[in-house]
Structure 1
Amino acid sequence: MNEDQLLQRITVNPEIFGGKPIIRGRRLAVEHVLGMLATGDDFDTLLEGYPWLEQADILACLSYAHRLVEHERVEPLILGAAA
């Protein structure tokens, strides 16, 4: 499954979580999945906690996050020497 196909699993519904990105129209926000992964939960833990969740859904969340940051631009901050 390519990234575009994965991202089709991410939907937005103004009636659910105020329009935040969710997985396949369900009441599970992308940010929640990313937060669980960031704190050390693995795919198996997520899949056990949400029986309807599929591995491709987790990959879709990672792809979504990647798309958000892939074009980020970081400008260096140059501080002048102290007088």
Structure 2
Amino acid sequence: MDIQQYIAIDPDIMMGKPVIKGTRITVELILEKLSAGETIEDILIAYPHITREAVFAALAFAAQSLRADTIYPIAH
């Protein structure tokens, strides 16, 4: 999957957070909704102007972003 086809980072849009291209829907929002138990179908209904492929690209972007040499522990 070509993540760059679906995800954009622009300092003038949502303070430079990664978004679904052509929208203000952040990768962060997609992840929050999925982690809260919403399904991909729920997201597509709430945001009909994005595609299933864009949601998968958001997940792929997040996974790629975590492939760093350093993973920081979660604060308790």
Query: TM-score range, shorter-chain basis?
Result: 0.7 to 0.9
RMSD: 1.8
Instruction: Give the percent of matched residue pairs that are identical in Structure 1 and Structure 2.
Output: 30
Residue number in structure 1 paired with 2:41 = 44
1:17 aligns with 2:14: yes
**TM-score normalised by L of structure 1:** 0.76
Equivalenced residues, count: 72
Unaligned 5+ runs, structure 2: 72-76
Offset at 1:8? 2.6
Q: Which amino acid aligns with 2:41?
A: D
Q: Point out the structure with max Rg over C-alpha.
A: 1
Q: Which amino acid aligns with 2:40?
A: F
Residues 13-57 of structure 1, C-alpha deviation per residue, up to 9 Å, x if partnerless? 222111110001311111000110111100110000001110001
Residue among 25, 29, 33 paired with 1:28 = 25
Give structure 1 regions of 4+ aligned residues with deviation exceeding 3 angstroms.
Answer: 71-74
